[in-house]
Amino acid sequence: MVTITIAFMLLFILVWFYRRVVPVRGVKCTNLQHLKEETKKLDIRDYHIASHDPVTGATNIPFAYIKRYYQPFIGSEVIIISNDVVAKNLCIRFLKQKGVHVTGYYISNSDNKEKKFAELC
């Protein structure tokens, strides 16, 4: 009985880790300057962060509200703009389940440590 409980706990931890940390296959880091006209930009950063570093042409819907306001993006190509990797992975997995074609992502942060990671894309 104890081994079954431990096995379920281990399985739960692995699924939790996979959803948050492992990058989504087929979704690449992209540069915002080289996008098609029909590609929509979805900024999932919080409002106060996105207002200090705005992205032109992007729709700002914070990650906490994505489950309520994803409907306009169904069936269209979307680029995700995020400030952290965990929110990016969770958002991409959710949107793909709902029928949104996520083609790429961009990590944007005003923090110098994370800016170096964002410039690699």
Give pLDDT tens digits for 30-84: 988 888 888 999 999 999 999 998 999 999 999 999 999 999 999 999 999 999 9
If one counts the domains in the chain, the total is: 1
pLDDT tens figures, 84-107 = 999 999 999 999 999 999 999 999
Residue with tokens 């409907």: 71
CA dihedral 50, 55, 61, 66 (to 10 degrees): -110
Question: How much helix, strand and coil, in percent to the nearest 5, is found in the chain?
Answer: 45, 20, 40
| Identity of the residue numbered 64 | A
Total-model pTM = 0.83
Determine the structural domain holding residue 92 and report its residue range.
Answer: 2-119
CATH classification at residue 24: 3.40.250.10
